[in-house]
Chains A and B, each alone.
Chain A
Amino acid sequence: MDGVSPVLRSFSEQLTAETFIDDGVETVTSVEQVSRRLAKLASVANKADESHYQYLKKGLRHLSDAYECLDASRPWLCFWILHSLELLEEPVPATVASDVCQFLARCQSPTGGFAGGPGQYAHLAPTYAAVNALCIIGTEEAYSVIDREKLLDFLWSLKQPDGSFMMHVGGEVDVRSAYCAASVASLTNILTPKLFEDTTNWILRCQNWEGGLSGVPGLEAHGGYTFCGTAALVILGNEHMLDLKALLRWVVSRQMRFEGGFQGRCNKLVDGCYSFWQAGVLPLLHRALFKEGESELSRHQWMFEQKALQEYILLCCQNPTGGLLDKPGKSRDFYHTCYCLSGLAIAQHFGNLDHHQEIILGKEENRLAPTHPVYNICPEKVAGALEHFLKLPVPDDSRHVGGFTGIKPPAAAPSHEPQS
C-alpha cells in the first residue's frame, strides 16, 4: 500500500530518459508525440471526488445541445454515467434508477434490442450499453425491462454466415458486434450453442501479425477491438485459441514508457480511455494463462505498470471541475470519464473474489470499486444479473437455426484465402 506517495514516477529524474527518441528523423508521428510534453493538470495524485460526482449527477438528467451528436447513443450516456457513479461508490436514488429503467424501456425496439433513442432502430452498441446499465441498477424492475425473446431474435437477425454479426440491420460488421452480442446474451441467459457458431473462428481471424486484434480481418491492431475480441472469446470459453503470447507482447507494449498511460495503436498517442480497453485485457490474459496451467504468473499484480497508469490518470486526465478526459488539453466527456475511471479501477485491483490485492496510489480516498474485466460493470452486478436470469429458461431459437433471417448484409468477406 502506498499511503502518502513519497515520489511520484511523473516527477522523478529517471523519467526524462524515457522521452520519445526521434533519431533525428522527424515525421508526422514523431512531431505529434514530441509536442505533447504532457502538461500535468495536477501535482498531487488525488481523485477530485465531489466534482466528478456533481458532473455525473447533472449529466444523468440534463445535457446541453452540445450532446446532439450523441442523440443516437443515449443508452451509452446512461451506461457511462451509471458505471462511473458505481465506481465512485455514489448511490443512485431509487427514483432516478426507475426513471432510467423507463427511459431504456422506451429505447427498446418492438423487434428486439435497444436503440440509440426512443423510436430509433435497434443497434448492438446501445443494446450492450442498455443491458449493462440495467444490470448496474440491478432491480427487478430493471431486469424485467429486457424482452429476452425479442433480444434473441434481434441477435439472430444480425448473424452472418461467416460467424460475424452486423451492428444493426443493414449495418457494418466488425468485432465490436461479437462482444456486444456475447455480453448481452451471456448476462441475460439467452446464449444458445448455434448463435455463436463460427463466431470464434471469425474473431480469431482478427488477430494479426502485430499480435493484437483488428476491427475486421486485415486491419491494424487496435486497443478497442482487441478488448472486444478477447472479452468475447472469454465469454465463449475460447480465449485459449488465440496466440496468447503474441497478444500479451502487443498489449503490454502499448503502455507508454514516458506517460504511463496506454496508446490505442503502435506509434500513436496516449489516451485515457485506453486505460480500460488496453489495460483491461491484462486481467483477461492473466486468467487465460492461469487456466492453461501457467505457473509463473504473479500473485500480486497484473503484467502492466499499475502505479504508472494510476499516475497518468490522476495527474493528467482529471478536469478539476469534474469529469475525466483523454489527455491534458482535451475536453472532458462522459465516455472518457467512464473509461478513465474503469482503467483506474483495473489498475487498483488485482485478483478476484478469492484473492484480492489492492495497490492504491495516493490517498485511500482514491480507491474505486473494482470492475469486472469482461463486462465492465461491478462484479456484484454481474453476479446479480446471472442469478436473476439463470432462473429463466433459455428462449427457443430453433426457427433461426440453420437459416439466416434474410437481411442483406454488406458485401461478403473476401472470397479468396490469403496467400501466406
Chain B
Amino acid sequence: MHRKTTPEVVSTSCAELEAGIQPRKLAMSGVEKTSNESPEVEDKNKEMDAEAEESFGDDYGVEPSQYLFYRYDRKEWADLEPVPQDEGPNPVVKIAYSKKFSDVYDYFRALLKKDERSERAFALTADAIDLNAANYTVWHYRRILLQALSKDLRKEMTYITNIIEEQPKNYQVWHHRRMVVEWLNDPTEELAFIAEILSQDAKNYHAWQHRQWVIQEYKLWDNELEFVESLLEDDVRNNSAWNQRHFVISHTTGYSDPAVVEREIQYCLQQIRKAPHNESAWNYLKGILQDHGLSSQPGLLEKVLELKETHCSPYLLAFLFDCYEDALENSKNTEEQERQETLSKALEICELLAQEKDTIRKEYWQFLGRSLQMTGSIPDSLTNRHY
C-alpha cells in the first residue's frame, strides 16, 4: 500500500511527477474540499478520500502524543539549539508546517549548521525524510553520514527498499538506491526489486531508468528480452516495455542483422493482428526500420496493404504513407511514371487522414501533403538522417 503523508489525501501522481519536473501532487482535503463541485467530481473526491482512509490503518488510533518532540521530550538532544527557518519578515508561499515538521526540520538545520556527523543525526534524517522524501538536502546529508559513520549498507538497502515501495514516484529515493548499489557494487537484488515495483505500475519511469542503469552498468542483459516479452504478454500496449525491447536488442544483437529485423517485424505484425489499434506496435515497427528505410524491406508493403483490408487503423495508414514517402526519397532512379503513382498514393493517404481518419492531426497531414507535393519528397529541412 503506498503511503500518504499525514492526513492529507495525496492524489494519484501525474506522470510529470515521475520525471521530477512536477513535485508530488496534493489533494488538500482540508482546504480544497468544497461543495461547489459537480456531483461527478464530488464522487471522485470521495473515492480518493476513501482510498486514503483505508491506508490510514497504521495511523488511526495512534495517539498524537506518542510523537516525542526533539525540543521537549528527548533529553539526549538538549545540548542542541534548534534553528528556525530564515524566511524573512514577509515570507511568501509560506507553508503552515505542523509542529512535528517544524520540530524535526529545526533540528535538522541545527545539525547541518554544525556539520554534526553522529548516530543521532543519522536517525533524525529518517524522520526528516519521512516528512518530506523530496528534500534532496536531507538525502545528501544522509549519504555523508552513511560514509562518515561506516553504516551498514545492507541495512540501508532494506531501508531504501521500503521507502521506494511507499513512494515509488520520487526522484530522490531512486537516486539514493543507485548510490548504495554503487557503493556495495552489488546489483544482485535489483532486477527482482524493480520487477516488483513494475508489477504495481508497469510504466514507472524511475523504475525503468534504474533498470536500464543496472543492466548497462553490470551487463545484466541475458534475461531481459524474456522479461520484456512477459510484460508485453500482460499488456501489449505497454509502451515502456516496447522501449525496453528496443533498448535490449540495440545493445545486444543490434538491428543490422537481417534475421533479427525479420524476427522483429514478424513479432510486430503478430501483435498488430491481435490489437490493430495499438499505436506502440506500429511505432516500434517504424522505429526499427526507419534508419535503413521502410521501403528497403521486401514484401512489407504488401503485407501492410493486406492488413489494410481487415485490420485498418490510422496508424496503419500513417505507416503506409511513410512507406510511400520513403520510396520516393530513396528510389530516385525509379521511372517517373512509378514515382508519380507513388506520390499520388501518398497524397491520397494524407487527404484521407486529414479529412476522415485522423482529423485531430489535420493541420499536420495537410502540411505533409503540401510539402510532398512541392518537392516530390519530404524536404531536406525535415530530415537529418545524414547527421
Q: Are B275 and A25 in touch, CB under 8 angstroms?
A: yes
A294 within 8 A of partner (CB) = yes
Task: Tell me the chain A residues, 35-81 only, with Cβ under 8 Å from chain B.
Answer: 39, 41, 59-74, 76-78, 81
User: What's the least CB distance linking A114 to chain B, in Å?
Assistant: 13
- Whether A410 contacts B182 by the Cβ 8 Å rule is yes
Per-position 1/0 for B1-13, Cβ under 8 A of A: 0000110111110
* B256 interface residue (CB < 8 Å to A): yes
B311, closest chain A residue (CB)? A23
Number of interface residues of B (CB under 8 A): 128
Q: How far is the CA of A69 from the CA of B360 in the complex (A)?
A: 38
Quick check: which of A145-153, A187-195, A332-340 contacts chain B, the rest being far away?
A: A332-340
Q: Is the CB of A65 within 8 A of B385?
A: no
Q: Are A69 and B30 neighbours in the complex by a CB distance under 8 Å?
A: no
Residue from the set B83, B95, B275, B363 with the largest chain A CB neighbour count within 10 Å = B95
Stretch touching chain A among B59-67, B246-254, B331-339, B341-349: B246-254
The reply to whether the CB of B291 lies closer than 8 angstroms to some CB of chain A is: yes
Cβ of A370 within 8 Å of any chain B Cβ, yes or no, is no
A296 touches B374 (CB 8 A): yes
Residue numbers in B under 8 Å from A246 (CB-CB): 290
A170 interface residue per 8 A CB criterion = yes
What chain B residues lie within 8 Å of A245 (beta carbons)? 378, 382-384
Q: Kindly state whether residue B223 has any CB partner on chain A within 8 Å.
A: no
Q: In the complex, which residues of chain B have a beta carbon less than 8 angstroms from the beta carbon of A389?
A: none
Q: Which of A358-380 contact B (CB under 8 A)?
A: none
> A65 contacts B175, CB within 8 Å?
no
Interface: B361 (CB within 8 A): yes
Contacting A at CB under 8 A, from B12-38, are 12, 14-16, 19-32, 34, 36-38
Is A324 engaged at the interface, CB distance under 8 Å to the other chain? Answer: no
Question: A268 with B23: in contact, given A62-B94, A295-B374, A411-B182 (CB under 8 Å)?
Answer: no
Partner among A72, A170, A208, A294 whose Cβ is within 8 Å of the Cβ of B135: A72
Are A218 and B134 within 8 A (Cβ)? no
Q: How large is the interface on A (under 10, 10 to 19, 20 to 34, 35 or more residues)?
A: 35 or more
Tell me the complex Cα distance, A406–B173, Å: 24
Mask, A227-254, CB within 8 Å of B = 1, is: 0100000000000111111101100110
* Chain B residues numbered 346-387 whose CB sits less than 8 Å from any CB in chain A: 358-364, 367, 370-371, 374, 378-385, 387
Q: In the complex, are the beta carbons of B240 and A304 less than 8 A apart?
A: no
From known contacts A27-B237, A170-B140, A176-B21, infer whether A63 and B364 are also in contact, taking CB-CB under 8 Å: no
**Given A99-B92, A103-B93, A419-B254, are A23 and B87 neighbors across the interface (CB < 8 Å)?**
no
A243 to B284, CA, bound (A): 17
**B97 part of interface (Cβ distance < 8 Å):** yes
Within 8 A of A (CB), among B150-206: 171, 175, 178-179, 182, 202-203, 205
In the bound complex, how far is the Cα of B368 from the Cα of A297, in angstroms? 9
- Contact among B175, B217, B246 for A171, CB-based, below 8 A: B175
Checking B19, B28, B277, B374 against A22 with a beta-carbon cut-off of 8 angstroms, the contacting residue is: B277
**In residues 260-302 of chain A, which contact B (Cβ within 8 Å)?**
260, 264-269, 271, 273, 277, 289, 292-298, 301-302
Closest to B246 in A: A209
Given known contacts A292-B381, A294-B379, A220 and B140 CB-to-CB distance under 8 angstroms: no
Distance in Å: Cβ of B28 to nearest Cβ of chain A = 4
- How far is the CB of A62 from the nearest CB of chain B, in Å? 6
Which residues from B are CB-within-8-Å of A321? 32, 34, 36-37
| Nearest chain B residue, comparing its CB with the CB of A207 | B384
B239 and A265 form a contact (CB under 8 A): yes
B168 to chain A, nearest CB (A): 15
In the complex formed, the residue of B with least CB distance to A302 is: B363
Are B140 and A69 neighbours in the complex by a CB distance under 8 Å? no
Query: Mask for A143-186, Cβ within 8 A of B = 1, else 0?
Result: 00000000000000000000000011111101010000000000
The residue of chain A having its C-beta at the shortest distance from the C-beta of B361 within the complex is A252
In the complex, per-residue mask of A299-317: 1 if CB is within 8 Å of any chain B CB, else 0: 0011111001000000000
Is A349 an interface residue when CB atoms closer than 8 A count as contact? no
- Complex CA distance for A260 and B275, rounded to whole angstroms: 23
**B-contacting residues, A113-135, CB 8 Å:** 115-121, 123, 125
Residue B50, interface by CB 8 Å = no
Set of chain B residues within 8 Å of A326, measured between Cβ atoms: 14, 25
Indicate if B109 sits at the interface (CB-CB under 8 A).
yes
Instruction: Evaluate contact between B178 and A411: CB separation under 8 angstroms.
Output: yes
For B274, the chain A residues whose CB sits under 8 A away are 23, 25
Residues of chain A with a CB closer than 8 A to B92's CB: 60-61, 78, 96, 99-100, 103
Q: Which residues of B contact A118 (CB under 8 A)?
A: 85-88
Give the contacting residue for A64; candidates B30, B171, B205, B283; CB below 8 A: B30
Given contacts A118-B87, A240-B384, whether A331 and B26 have CB atoms under 8 Å apart is yes
Name the distance in Å between B100's Cβ and chain A's nearest Cβ: 10
Contacts A220-B208, A260-B360, A277-B16 known; A414 to B6 CB distance under 8 Å? Answer: no
Interface residues of B in 211-267 (CB under 8 A from A): 212-213, 216-217, 234-240, 243, 246-247, 249-256
Instruction: Judge whether B143 and A222 touch: CB under 8 Å.
Output: no
Q: Does chain B have a CB within 8 A of A1?
A: no
Residue A329, interface by CB 8 Å: yes
A398 close to chain B: CB less than 8 A: no
The yes or no answer to B280 lying at the interface (CB within 8 A) is yes
Any B CB within 8 A of the CB of A388:
no
Tell me the bound Cα distance from A386 to B234 in angstroms. Answer: 52
Give Cα A204–Cα B385 distance, bound, in whole angstroms.
12
| Residues of B contacting A260 in the complex (Cβ-Cβ under 8 angstroms) | 360
Q: Are B97 and A73 in contact (CB under 8 A)?
A: no
Q: Is A224 an interface residue (CB 8 A)?
A: yes
Tell me whether A6 is interfacial, beta carbon within 8 Å. Answer: no
In the complex, per-residue mask of A9-37: 1 if CB is within 8 Å of any chain B CB, else 0: 00000000010111101011110000000
Q: How near does chain A come to B81, taking the closest CB pair, in angstroms?
A: 15
Our pick among A18, A64, A204, A268 for the contact of B28 (Cβ within 8 Å) is A64
In the complex, the answer to whether B387 meets A241 with C-beta atoms within 8 Å is: yes
Q: Shortest distance in angstroms between A330's beta carbon and chain B's nearest beta carbon? A: 6
Shortest Cβ-Cβ A-B pairs, 5 listed:
A331-B27, A209-B287, A292-B381, A419-B254, A329-B44
List 17 additional A-B contacts (Cβ < 8 Å) besides A70-B23, A267-B237, A298-B367: A23-B275, A27-B235, A64-B28, A81-B93, A99-B88, A118-B86, A171-B140, A176-B19, A215-B19, A243-B387, A245-B378, A264-B16, A265-B15, A289-B382, A331-B32, A414-B216, A420-B249
- Which residues of B does A touch, CB under 8 Å? 5-6, 8-12, 14-16, 19-32, 34, 36-38, 40-41, 44-45, 47-48, 83, 85-88, 90-98, 101, 105, 109, 112, 131-137, 140, 143, 171, 175, 178-179, 182, 202-203, 205, 208-209, 212-213, 216-217, 234-240, 243, 246-247, 249-256, 274-280, 283-284, 287-288, 290-291, 313-314, 358-364, 367, 370-371, 374, 378-385, 387
A and B contact pairs by CB, cutoff 8 A, 11 listed:
A39-B38, A120-B137, A170-B143, A174-B20, A215-B209, A245-B382, A296-B371, A302-B363, A308-B360, A330-B25, A414-B217
